[in-house]
Copies of this chain bind each other. A is one copy, B any other.
Amino acid sequence: MSRAQHDPNLDLAFSRHVALPAEALWAAWTQPDLLMPWFCPKPWQTVACEIDLQPGGIFRTVMRSPHGQEHVNSGCYLVVEPNRRLVWTNALAPGFRPLPPNRDGDDFLFTGEIALMPIEAGLTRYEARVSHATLADCDKHAAMGFEKGWSVALDQLIEFMRLRQAAAGQ
């Protein structure tokens, strides 16, 4: 019931089959205590996370480098379809409020989307997509290592959730 319009020139995307149930991937994306351990590629750490899981609700993370440099990303959710689809943007503040027009030149706006499709028991197709306003923003995000970064983060997610499953099974 919601529409994403893809544009290969303005979007970055990758997909992978993951040996976890969709519910585990959803939990890892939507609960702060399950998101912080894997969300940014090491040695950076996610040191804060705020989630209000409803359209218009806040999604805010703070990443910290080993040298103490911090990067805050804040926005709101747009689509919340449990275990299937999560869409958020940093182009609107919580409550769907527009952002002031004069942005920091170092920053850029994007809308992110995680789509989960169960394939069989314990196996899920995972698709991550980030859409940008301009070719320049899209190229910049690609040059920052979008695919490698998100792929490494997904590896960290899988490892964390499997360790957690194993610990729960003991």
Contact = CB atoms under 8 A, between A and B. Distances in A.
B95 A3 contact: yes
B96 A101 contact: no
A99 B137 CA distance: 11
B94 A5 contact: yes
A10 interface: yes
Contacts of A92: 89, 91-92, 111
Interface in A34-87: 52, 54-57, 78-80, 87
A40 to B, nearest CB: 21
B55 A131 contact: no
A169 interface: no
A101 B103 contact: yes
A1 interface: yes
A131 B86 CA distance: 24
Interface string A8-22: 001000000000000
Given A54-B1, A56-B3, A91-B92, A97 B111 contact: yes
A134 interface: yes
A144 interface: no
Contacts of A1: 54-55, 80
A96 B78 contact: yes
A110 B98 contact: yes
Interface in A124-170: 131-134, 137
